Amino acid sequence: METCPSEPSDSGSPLKTMVDTAEAEQLLRQGLGKRMVRGDGINRSTAVSGDSDMLSGGIHHYEQITQSAQSQRLKRFLTTTVMPVFLLAFTPNLVVIIWYTVIHCEGSYLKMLSVFSHRSILSGLSDMWSLMNYPSPVVIWTLVIYCVYALAMMKLLPGENVTGPVTPKGNVPVYKDNGFIYFVVTICLFWVLTICLHPFGISPSILYDKFDEVIYALNAFSLIFCAFLYIKGLLTPSSTDSGSSGNIIFDYYWGMELYPRVLGFDIKVFTNCRFGMMVWALLVCIHSVKSFELYGFVDSMFVSAFLQIMYITKFFWWESGYMRTIDIMLDRAGYYICWGCLVYVPSLYASVTFYLVSHPIHLGPVVTTIFLFLGALNIYINYAADVQKQEVRGANGNCLIWGRKPEIIRAKYQLENGDEKESILLASGWWGLSRHFHYIPEIMLAFFWSAPALFDNIMPYSYVIWLFILLTHRSYRDDTKCNKKYGLFWHQYCKKVPHKIVPYLF
């Protein structure tokens, strides 16, 4: 699940909040003392009993405050240490579990769980790991060559310079907007190479067969890479949007820098877009090739792959918009985002077509058409909502939303350095239905590319289930973030649009 223990969001590190708790406790003690002294002086002439009432009331109040400070400290400990430790220990195993379920348990989580029936969780997991092969040179070289290619293309491909949103420290990151062209070039190159190498018996489907090695290599690389990012953030941060929380575990998990750059390469553009999203698309193509090699054309694979590629194409088309989302504005470059995009996205996000390779299902033309239509419709709605927000802001509110003048709130907010800024909150169109209406089509579109696997197993719905949890949690996170940022203006928006995701319900 997505976690933001400290909501370091606008203020930066969780340290501030941890210190705040202690400071608040001290201030409250002082404040209480003052009130008691004042109470002494003021009430003496009016009510003698008032003093003792105040004293006992004060002590009671003080106990309550101490208790709440303690529970806050406990909560902070859970979210900044226990949760990260759990995720660091569990998530590398999770991707192995996914692989093991598909390859060794016919895609059944029930069969997979039987591994743990007569032994401890640790020995069950170690059995799964023992089935994984160490990365062979072909896998290592493929990954290295892909990374070098992706980095080179980041520099070489043309693209306008676009700016990200102003960061809490007042920095304005600049990105080269060449994601879409990179996506098109890479997909074309993939198919050209696949066709040209076919006569020599070389197929990209080798990466399906050796996916255990891929996971191994990605896990190992990412863990080291995140350590590198931690040290880099400590010694040579790229911008003032960085800092330590004082808790090394949390810093490793959450990251030190908002947008680190190494040799001029933006790390998040690389991990999230050029690696995570692109490798997801390539894996879908690889799974389709493998399925074709095994059975020829399979309509369920076609529906799932087509919808996923359509969704990823949309992502790259809108990449500069993505650079204005929570992942970029709020989440630092640590294990959560970097391991997530380097390992979790390739393993979980591409898991439906991974499953379909060993479960060829014939849907027939009617079901195929319905799934394709509904999936594409939801991709369109999700995209339309993302773009609507961007357009209103781009046009400074001078545009039409669903044929009408948009309802907007001009929300003022302050940067950490005290500078005042203004932003537009759209309260009509998709953004007038609920505050995150676009999460509904996001979940639905994922459902329609998973449903071709039909309903024999839960496994192909792992991504939909994950998305449901992630987006529900994200709707809270975003509310907290916007509340902190816009204060009363956000309240005004919430009054107009009272529901988080589902209109009239939630």
Ligand X SMILES: NC(=O)C1=CN([C@@H]2O[C@H](COP(=O)(O)OP(=O)(O)OC[C@H]3O[C@@H](n4cnc5c(N)ncnc54)[C@H](OP(=O)(O)O)[C@@H]3O)[C@@H](O)[C@H]2O)C=CC1
Ligand Y SMILES: CC(C)CCC[C@@H](C)[C@H]1CC[C@H]2C3=CC=C4C[C@@H](O)CC[C@]4(C)[C@H]3CC[C@]12C
Please count the residues of this chain forming the interface with ligand Y, following the rule CB under 6 A: 15
Considering only 7, 327, 416, 479, the residue that binds ligand Y (CB under 6 A) is 327
Binding-site member from 2, 7, 51, 391 for ligand Y (CB under 6 A): 2
Q: Which is nearer to ligand Y, 359 or 481 (CB)?
A: 481
Can you name the residues that pair with 410 across neighbouring β-strands? Answer: 424
Q: Measured on CA atoms in the order 21, 22, 23, 28, is the torsion positive or negative? A: positive
Do residues 285 and 190 touch, judged by C-beta distance below 8 A? yes
For the chain, helix (H) and strand (E) counts, in that order, are 21, 6
Q: Does 326 bind ligand X (CB under 6 A)?
A: yes
Instruction: Return the one option of ligand Y, ligand X, none that residue 340 interacts with (CB less than 5 to 8 A, by type).
Output: ligand Y
Q: What angle do CA 250, 76, 121 make, to 5 degrees?
A: 65
Other Cβ atoms within 10 Å of 422 Cβ, number = 10
- Nearer residue to ligand X within complex by CB, 257 or 478: 478
Residue 286 CA to residue 350 CA, distance in Å, equals 10
Residue showing the smallest CB distance to ligand Y in the complex: 340
Strand, helix or coil for residue 199: helix
| Cα(351)–Cα(211) distance, integer angstroms | 11
Q: Compare residues 216 and 461 and give the one whose CB is closer to ligand X.
A: 461
Of 130-138, 227-235, 339-347, 449-457, the window that binds ligand Y (rule: CB under 6 A) is: 339-347
Direct distance between the N- and C-terminal alpha carbons of the chain, in angstroms, rounded to an integer: 19
The option from ligand Y, ligand X, none interacting with 389 (CB < 5 to 8 A, set by class) reads: ligand X
User: For ligand Y, which residue of 150, 256, 345, 379 counts as binding (CB under 6 A)?
Assistant: 345
Fill in the per-residue mask, 304 to 323: x = in contact with ligand Y (CB under 6 A), - = not in contact.
-----------x------x-
Q: Compare residues 329 and 408 and give the one whose CB is closer to ligand Y.
A: 329
Torsion, Cα of 294, 307, 461, 442 (10° steps): 170
268: helix, strand or coil: helix
Q: How far is the CB of 340 from ligand Y (least distance, A)?
A: 3
- Stated as kind and residue range, the H or E segment containing 23 is helix 14-43
Amino acid residing at 346? P
374-378 long-range contacts, Cβ below 8 Å, gap at least 24?
A: 374/444, 374/448, 375/303, 375/307, 375/310, 375/445, 375/448, 375/449, 376/307, 376/310, 377/441, 378/441, 378/442, 378/444, 378/445, 378/448
In the complex, least distance from residue 450 CB atom to ligand X, rounded to whole angstroms: 13
Enumerate residues 401-440 that contact ligand X by CB under 6 A.
423, 425-426, 431, 436, 438-439
User: Nearest distance from residue 437's CB to ligand X, in Å?
Assistant: 9
254 vs 439, beta carbon nearer ligand X:
439
Does 382 bind ligand X (CB under 6 A)? Our answer is yes
Our finding on whether 290 is near ligand X (CB under 6 A) is no
Distances (CA, A) of 377 to 54, 160, 164, 229, 502: 64, 30, 29, 40, 18
Binding-residue pattern over the window 42 to 81 for ligand X, x denoting contact by CB under 6 A: ----------------------------------------
Choose among 449, 165, 421: nearest CA to 299: 449
Q: Does 219 interact with ligand Y (rule: CB under 6 A)?
A: no
Q: Give the Å distances, CA to CA, from 255 to 165, 166, 325.
A: 19, 19, 17
Query: Which tokens hold the place of 457?
Result: 């197993």
Q: Closest separation between CB of residue 87 and ligand Y, Å?
A: 5
Residue placing its CB nearer to ligand Y in the complex, 39 or 276: 276
Encoded one letter per residue, x for contact with ligand Y by CB under 6 A and - for no contact, window 83-102 reads ----x---x-----------
User: In the range 461-480, which residues lie near ligand X by CB under 6 A?
Assistant: 467, 470, 474, 478
Tell me the C-alpha distance between 211 and 346, whole Å: 10
Spatial separation of the C-alpha atoms in residues 392 and 410, rounded to whole Å: 11
C-alpha span between 310 and 440 (Å, rounded): 18
Q: Does 182 bind ligand Y (CB under 6 A)?
A: no
Stretch that binds ligand Y, among 135-143, 224-232, 269-277, 413-421 (CB under 6 A): 269-277
Least CB distance from residue 431 to ligand X, whole Å?
4
Give the CB-nearest residue to ligand X.
325
d(CA 39, CA 42) in angstroms, rounded, equals: 5
Of 96, 122, 107, nearest to 212 by C-alpha is: 96
Tell me if 178 sits within 8 A of 159, measured CB to CB: yes
Residue 272 lies near ligand Y (rule: CB under 6 A): yes
Binding of ligand X by 299 (CB under 6 A): no
- Which residue lies nearer to ligand Y by CB, 139 or 328? 328
Which residues are at the interface with ligand Y (CB under 6 A)? 2, 87, 91, 272, 276-277, 315, 322, 327, 336-337, 340-341, 344-345
Which residues are at the interface with ligand X (CB under 6 A)? 165, 324-327, 382, 386, 389, 423, 425-426, 431, 436, 438-439, 442, 467, 470, 474, 478, 481-482, 485
